[in-house]
Copies of this chain bind each other. A is one copy, B any other.
Amino acid sequence: MKNIYASIITIGDELLIGQVIDTNSAWMAQQLNKIGIAVKKRIAIGDDAQEMRQALDVESQEADLVLLTGGLGPTSDDITKDFLCKYFNGKMVVNEAALENVKYLFEKIYKKPASQVNLLQAEVPDVCEVVQNKRGSAPGMIFKRNNTIFVSMPGVPYEMQGIMNELIPYLQKKFELPSIFHRTILTAGIGESALAEIIADFEKQLPEEIRLAYLPNYGMVRLRLTTLGFDKEATQKIIDEQFDQLKSLVKKYMVTDKDETMQEVLGKLLLKNNKTISTAESCTGGMIASLLTSIAGSSGYYNGSIVSYSCEIKETLLHVKKDTLNNYGAVSEQTVIEMLDGLLNKLNTDYGIAVSGIMGPGGGTPEKPVGTVWIAAGTKEKHVTQKIQQRFERAKNIEVTSVMALNIMRKFILEE
């Protein structure tokens, strides 16, 4: 039994000029990992036949599986299908099922006639096996050379994901796959180096087949153990033992021992306690509400929020006193406390978060520089406040502040 290695090749000039961020690769890597296929390399190249040839030549030597996305659209900048046809010495033929699919999509879903260009999408090289694409007009295509399997898919994430869902069982049949295990701890309130010092001895004794990674993000650090093996039970036992050790070492900073986000953790906590939450947001402008409602089922604990960007709205909707705003400013402990009180009085909710700050690039003063944030979280009876100093650019300041606010709320609830 051997490990199966995959490479991901994403195709498209837009990936090279940075106009779009590649989210496909991460998603595909996750899906492969779940079934025990390790991704060894990801490559992004332009819509360029020579680059494609070179990449495929190299990867056919090194990978058991090569996933390609992009360049299958109906327009002239999309050359992947023609290239693959030549590369695998095929000729173009109409795939009847794909043709039916294109016709169906245009008649029933898009409700307009399919053009000649659209119908051409149903042509595929005669040397490939087709994976139907129910979400769009470009079919997936499976090619083989030597012992490597190549799969070409559209770059539109939603379409690629649909094809991947059909591909996964195919790959599980095709390869004899080991089990991969990941164990993840999300920590908050401690930096990467400080964590490293706490777990230095643990790292030293870690069996060679288990890898430890530090993944800092949003001002938090995720610790991840990874291992894989063909003896599923034995492999799982070893990593779980190590994971228990790791957890006990960083318990103080642990938000969750699952691979989940702060908003998922808080949402589960609220659901379990049968409590509701609302937010009064100034500088985060709705981001905290947006994070909370990104979770399916959040209506079980989330009622609504007030985004009080201007001082006027702080006064009219949240009843922050004019005196408070004048004497202490919109970014102050007094203001967020009154925002929180106003929120909890106005909305019929158990918990509330109130945030006000200066996210930049403008708006800073010597006393309150860009990045100054006040957060209040609590109930009608009790609350905590915290002042934070962010040091990123605007978008990042908003993100990190939002996640930190959720964490302050989470800790408040746990300590209540």
Contact = CB atoms under 8 A, between A and B. Distances in A.
Interface of A: 12-23, 25-31, 33, 38-47, 51, 58, 73-77, 109-110, 112, 115, 117-118, 156-158, 182, 184, 191-194, 196-197, 203, 211-217, 222, 224, 226, 259, 279, 281, 284-290, 292-294, 296-299, 302-310, 312-313, 316-317, 346-348, 360-362, 391-396, 398
A78 to B, nearest CB: 8
B193 A117 contact: yes
A296 B25 contact: no
Of listed A44, A109, A197, A308, residue having the most chain B CB within 10 A: A44
Given A287-B290, A304-B313, A42 B13 contact: no
A296 B224 contact: no
A401 B109 CA distance: 18
Contact of A294 (B17, B21, B288, B398): B398
A305 B348 CA distance: 18
A14 B213 contact: yes
19 contacts: A17-B39, A18-B26, A20-B215, A22-B26, A40-B51, A41-B44, A42-B43, A109-B391, A112-B194, A118-B193, A157-B396, A284-B290, A284-B293, A285-B289, A285-B302, A286-B286, A304-B308, A305-B307, A312-B348
Of listed A27, A196, A216, residue having the most chain B CB within 10 A: A196
Given A17-B39, A203-B76, A213-B14, A313 B307 contact: no
Nearest to A15: B42
A331 to B, nearest CB: 13
Contacts of A394: 294, 296
> What are the 8 tightest A-B residue pairs by CB atom distance, in nearest-first order?
A285-B293, A286-B289, A18-B29, A286-B286, A304-B313, A18-B30, A42-B44, A18-B26
A326 to B, nearest CB: 18
Contacts of A395: 294
A75 B196 contact: yes
Nearest to A191: B110
Given A13-B211, A212-B77, A396-B158, A304 B296 contact: no
Contacts of A346: 316-317
Contact of A17 (B76, B117, B182, B285): B182
A392 B158 contact: yes
A215 B19 contact: yes
A41 B33 contact: no
Contacts of A47: 213
A283 to B, nearest CB: 8
Contacts of A360: 296
A215 B73 CA distance: 10
Contacts of A13: 211, 213, 226
Nearest to A287: B290
B20 A217 contact: yes
Contacts of A41: 16, 43-45, 51
Contact of A74 (B15, B42, B45, B192): B192
